[in-house]
A and B are shown apart, each in its own frame.
Chain A
């Protein structure tokens, strides 16, 4: 899970982009070099944050409010839960990219009867999440240590909601951002299921990611969160606002959600993807064969207006 360092900077009232050894009032609880990341866990009461070091910057993957188990301090993680008002049923949830596990845990706390599976590549991340982020072994809550794509490829289960938030520092591994990957995701959706994805919108990778998701899912709704965008993708016809409002109302009530779906619905945006006005007409659909994610990531987006 990532938010840009800027967001954490605001949360921690620290500098906008924190250098790895910047002097601030955060207290380093633990640092670990795992198979995949350099992980730093910081404490600034009441918050604990998990960050990955990457070329002298620190990317916040997860923030936990130790005084409030049901708080989601990071804006976009709230919008990931907007997917709940889209799914026809909510009998099972899958998350790819566990990180500190806060999004999955929030859903688990409000939907204790719904089995939630979260897949995380890095075993050290899971270990630190259990140590510092209030994640416990409980029924209906399962964390699998596996590459997200491999997990799906081998799984025969279907899910009503799939949340995708697999970042390593600033990057998304390319094999989790291709058309073939989204096809596998679609094959694991139950009827009426939805996919929510966290996308970082400042570079040209955003345009390609949107086109790629759209190549597999005809419908894409956008939710703008502080510094990130959450897309909700689904098959079939565009969902009407009043139908979503009815679902939002029912589910807000049924689950007693802290972050109301009805409020989130007000932030729903649609983009005319084909027009080329918002999404670059030349942006290419990413495939297993051609997915230059690093190169796209290095090109700033032009000033085209986001939703």
Chain B
């Protein structure tokens, strides 16, 4: 098997960090979108967190299915790009969507869950496919798999932490939620671009 180019492996790790950051950053932002409609209670947080974890679970399963068929840079780049496009649509559409849910379902658990699903499920599921595919791209031999998986999940979890803290303590106090959402979309688009521009990994 051909060794992976250093730049490609670096960009995959860098994307792993950035995608992880956006993922949790967007969960924190989700609270700003939901609170005005569904209140700031523990129920809203429970909905947000469970939706994020559901999205990740689906994303991991989908990622492993993709690994079995098209484990290419192009597949993850495409997933990230669609997530970016979804985020870019959120600021303009969130309010009418939340209002519709509020008016038809009220503000109970089902409404809050539906609202966080509408906001988070699609983009975060797409981002969730990243790690399994990244592990598959970075792994050259079976005995490397564990080491690579550990590195990818470690880097992406550090991204989660940075994304959570940066969004909460720096971005939300200085920039509006809608603007932050656009920033996140741009970061994801850049990640997708970086993966697409790197020479494609050839399988043996």
Contact A295/B173 with A147-B107, A153-B102, A289-B178 known, Cβ cut-off 8 Å: yes
Question: Which of A36, A174, A296 sits near B41, CB closer than 8 Å?
Answer: A36
Interface residues on A, range: 20 to 34
A36-B35 in contact (CB<8A): no
What chain B residues lie within 8 Å of A290 (beta carbons)? 175-177
Question: Which of A150, A173, A174, A288 sits near B107, CB closer than 8 Å?
Answer: A150
B107-A175 in contact (CB<8A): no
B36-A175 in contact (CB<8A): yes
What chain B residues lie within 8 Å of A288 (beta carbons)? 32, 36
* CB of A184 to closest CB in B, whole Å: 10
What chain B residues lie within 8 Å of A36 (beta carbons)? 41-42
Interface size of B by CB at 8 A reads 20
B39-A149 in contact (CB<8A): yes
| Residue picked from A35, A36, A174, A288, most chain B C-beta under 10 Å | A288
A35-B107 in contact (CB<8A): no
The reply on B104 being an interface residue by CB < 8 A is no
Rounded to whole angstroms, the CA-CA distance of A149 and B36 in the bound complex is 8
The reply on B7 being an interface residue by CB < 8 A is no
The reply on B40 being an interface residue by CB < 8 A is yes
What chain B residues lie within 8 Å of A9 (beta carbons)? none
The reply on A287 being an interface residue by CB < 8 A is yes
Rounded to whole angstroms, the CA-CA distance of A306 and B107 in the bound complex is 39
A175-B178 in contact (CB<8A): no
Type the 1/0 row for A153-178, where 1 means its CB is closer than 8 Å to any CB of B: 10000000000000000000111001
A178-B175 in contact (CB<8A): no
Type the 1/0 row for B35-59, where 1 means its CB is closer than 8 Å to any CB of A: 1111111110000000000000000
What chain B residues lie within 8 Å of A289 (beta carbons)? 32, 176-178
Could you tell me which residues of chain A, from 252 to 307, have a CB within 8 Å of some CB in chain B?
A: 287-290, 292, 294-296
Could you tell me which residues of chain B, from 18 to 43, have a CB within 8 Å of some CB in chain A?
A: 32, 35-43
What chain A residues lie within 8 Å of B174 (beta carbons)? 292
B173-A292 in contact (CB<8A): yes
* CB of A235 to closest CB in B, whole Å: 23
The 8 closest A-B pairs by CB, nearest first: A295-B173, A147-B39, A292-B173, A290-B176, A289-B176, A175-B36, A173-B40, A175-B35
B residues in contact (CB < 8 Å) with A:
32, 35-43, 102, 107, 169, 172-178
A residues in contact (CB < 8 Å) with B:
35-36, 121, 147, 149-150, 153, 173-175, 178, 180-181, 287-290, 292, 294-296
Show 27 residue pairs from A and B whose CB-CB distance is below 8 angstroms, ordered by the A residue: A35-B42, A36-B42, A121-B41, A147-B40, A147-B41, A149-B39, A150-B38, A150-B39, A173-B35, A173-B39, A174-B32, A174-B40, A175-B35, A175-B36, A175-B39, A175-B40, A178-B36, A180-B36, A288-B32, A288-B36, A289-B176, A289-B177, A289-B178, A290-B175, A292-B172, A292-B174, A296-B173
